[in-house]
A and B are shown apart, each in its own frame.
Chain A
């Protein structure tokens, strides 16, 4: 019988420990819970992400494949809020309960927020997670005045990142010098000069007493009365272990969860690693000791209790190019019997200091050049006797790296750089035009419609100044996977999830329902451009059998009839099929095609075979028809060839799925006989040009379509329709018709991001459409290889059994 090991915390220490456990001969069913939605990534490199040196995808440590290959269940985006050690269960905020035999707590730590007045204002951030990094990236840019509270490692890395994104940055530090836990005063001064030469302003002895601003931050007030302007603040004032969960469960907790040298907590079946722990009064803020903990714990928990954790020698490296800092050990030179060896070169900005006792290295500080840190670390760890090397202790001293270009710091208050919208213009829009949503702001001022990176800032501004600010509500898909569809698209893309079940297993309750399964089926299809793993159990019955279910459980069959064009031969075939299968009703539909109603499920593949026609997708959220009028082919008013254009449009888009059904029409003149002005996409021929209209409907409600663009040639018209079509596929919410879609986004934005987008953006849309189209095929081709079990009921002879043999499994 396998033991259930639950791990709370999908971070660096927790997952590292699991990796170590896998190396042992273990007997665990492992489930990892993490409240971040991402797979395990390298938190340390968030600084590089913020600095633009790395992409988010670059810092993944264990991708989904790793979890799967090792049989580990990952439950992500799920926060645990209770541990019941007596019942041996853990409980999530969504109310789901998981039983365990052994529990590993690896909840890390959280940023410490000092009790400063106004710290809850909009525009105040922390820097701990990938999502934090994303937010900061989205908000930073030229013109942004950023202030970092805290001149420790994290604060300085955040400062440099923000500055590289174009912000003007000030660091406010409470202590007498920067990184005061890792550097002496001189080292701190060297570092300060270095950072200032990179263009970062540093204020030491700066105690922030208040964050000011009306809703959104506008500045900070210091204890000495000084005021500092800011529209973005990052608080990096230290961390505190996430130990509340353990404390509530009755485990022994001081500042962190108390663990012994075997990483055992006060309960025999509960263990802890990482920044949430406290060992011998020591807390942790760097990964090196956590690796040691992980190895020890893996031994303990797999029944190899023996190795012990003994604490660690702190060693820190600042990851700012051009401002190298390394510090390790105890650098207090006032202690009895210690010697100090130092080098100071103000011109090069290099400062090195070694603390020795009895010819052994006890502490080291390197600023400006940390290229030989390994050597010192070795000496420190191994307690090397340095008597023989006293003459070369500080050599070879490498030259300082090439000076970093100080990023230029423009002085403007422009919020939206792309469209040159100032903060003043935004406030004007709010006061004079009653703008209160981001969509309205975009329409009014064009702010945030370029690269979009200022959208967050605009939103914060709106929040601060618009009395009726309405945050566009992000609705979660459903309780089974409590994320918005935008988040899910991002999750599916970044975590490389190709199937519905994977999304449900990792981000949901593992089962799903009739609301989320079809939506997720659509999302994986569109994100992977048809390269997803199709899961029929997640599809509505219509999409399993490619026909529309009727009130009596029979189905209707609507073959494709592009542009409403048919032929005597085709009509004859339809008539034959109707007779052969006793189809109760043959009807011309409201969409210019023919419907065979009342068909038995098991007859479907045979009917498709006999018809030899394509599926009309009348049963699915996809491309229905392109209605056409006769146009210039026969009509005396026709100005454009509506028939061939409509047939071509249908040929290009058929077999593809859309957030909701998509209906199109092409008419040869503005008399509009095929009702193009009330279709999702309509092409209206005129003398010498085509109008492309979108977002129309005459269903539950009637909405006249909006003009997207007017173009001269038929090919341009087809391209414009394709651009809008793919854009809707990529941005529409599942079950959102185009008439809601264009209203939600605003035509202004739709035009700008489709027909008036850059050539590269347009090409991107067309390329992705083409990839999907290349992978799509006529659903009724399944007649050649019907999915086993799909159409036929099981039949059992009265006396015995049939079908004990498994039916053919292969299905392509």
Chain B
């Protein structure tokens, strides 16, 4: 995939450290999390009852970076999208490729459902 498909979104400084900020982009409600060394973009929708996970507290569960949904404290692994506490086999939070380059947060453009899966 060529780098031209990466779209600059915002300066990393616009994302508070260890917090989430929401982004409306290409029809998606996305939660961007600034973890200091990297940025993570996931769908802003908790698999439980659609809570806004962007408003959750960034946490650590057994060494995994998670976010805790503010509504009913499901803990969601930010790397796998899985609810890991309470452990559930159910649906995942969808994640989007994101990276930081020269202090700018980039997302990949034209992402179809198939690519994301």
The residues of A that contact B32 with a CB separation of less than 8 Å are 794
Asked whether B99 is an interface residue with its Cβ less than 8 Å from the other chain, the reply is no
**Is A511 touching B60 in the complex (CB atoms < 8 A)?**
yes
The residues of B that contact A793 with a CB separation of less than 8 Å are 21-24
* Docked complex Cα distance between A511 and B68 (Å): 13
* Docked complex Cα distance between A120 and B16 (Å): 52
Number of B interface residues, CB 8 Å?
37
**Is B55 touching A794 in the complex (CB atoms < 8 A)?**
no
Asked whether A244 is an interface residue with its Cβ less than 8 Å from the other chain, the reply is no
Asked whether B56 is an interface residue with its Cβ less than 8 Å from the other chain, the reply is yes
**Is A537 touching B60 in the complex (CB atoms < 8 A)?**
no
Q: Mark A794-811, 1 if CB is under 8 A from B, else 0.
A: 111000011111110100
Asked whether A207 is an interface residue with its Cβ less than 8 Å from the other chain, the reply is no
**Is A803 touching B11 in the complex (CB atoms < 8 A)?**
yes
* Docked complex Cα distance between A790 and B59 (Å): 19
**Is A806 touching B13 in the complex (CB atoms < 8 A)?**
yes
Asked whether A661 is an interface residue with its Cβ less than 8 Å from the other chain, the reply is no
**Is A538 touching B104 in the complex (CB atoms < 8 A)?**
no
Asked whether A514 is an interface residue with its Cβ less than 8 Å from the other chain, the reply is yes
**Is A794 touching B10 in the complex (CB atoms < 8 A)?**
yes
**Is B16 touching A801 in the complex (CB atoms < 8 A)?**
no
A-B Cβ contacts below 8 A, count: 101
Knowing A537-B16, A537-B18, A807-B14, the reply to whether A517 touches B57 (Cβ < 8 A) is yes
**Is A801 touching B9 in the complex (CB atoms < 8 A)?**
yes
Asked whether A303 is an interface residue with its Cβ less than 8 Å from the other chain, the reply is no
* Docked complex Cα distance between A511 and B36 (Å): 12
* Docked complex Cα distance between A538 and B73 (Å): 15
**Is A513 touching B10 in the complex (CB atoms < 8 A)?**
no
Within 8 A of B (CB), among A518-571: 518, 536-541, 544, 549, 551, 553
Asked whether B7 is an interface residue with its Cβ less than 8 Å from the other chain, the reply is yes
The residues of B that contact A511 with a CB separation of less than 8 Å are 58-60, 65
Number of A interface residues, CB 8 Å?
35
Within 8 A of A (CB), among B21-62: 21-25, 32, 49, 51-52, 55-61
Asked whether B111 is an interface residue with its Cβ less than 8 Å from the other chain, the reply is no
The residues of B that contact A796 with a CB separation of less than 8 Å are 7, 9-10, 23-25
Smallest Cβ-Cβ distance to A537: which chain B residue: B18
Knowing A511-B60, A796-B9, the reply to whether A541 touches B55 (Cβ < 8 A) is yes
* Docked complex Cα distance between A112 and B25 (Å): 66
**Is A514 touching B9 in the complex (CB atoms < 8 A)?**
no
The residues of B that contact A807 with a CB separation of less than 8 Å are 13-14
- Determine which of A513, A540, A803 lies in contact with B61 in the assembled complex, contact meaning CB atoms within 8 Å: A513
The residues of B that contact A794 with a CB separation of less than 8 Å are 9-10, 14, 21-24, 32
Knowing A549-B71, A793-B23, the reply to whether A804 touches B59 (Cβ < 8 A) is no
Q: What are 20 contact pairs spanning A and B, CB under 8 A?
A: A480-B60, A511-B60, A511-B65, A512-B59, A514-B56, A517-B57, A517-B59, A536-B19, A537-B17, A544-B55, A549-B52, A789-B14, A793-B23, A794-B21, A794-B23, A794-B32, A795-B23, A796-B9, A801-B7, A807-B13
Chain B residues with a Cβ under 8 A of chain A: 7-11, 13-19, 21-25, 32, 49, 51-52, 55-61, 63, 65-66, 68, 70-71, 73, 75, 104
Other than the given A511-B58, A512-B59, A801-B9, 5 more pairs (CB < 8 A) read: A541-B70, A553-B52, A789-B21, A794-B9, A796-B10
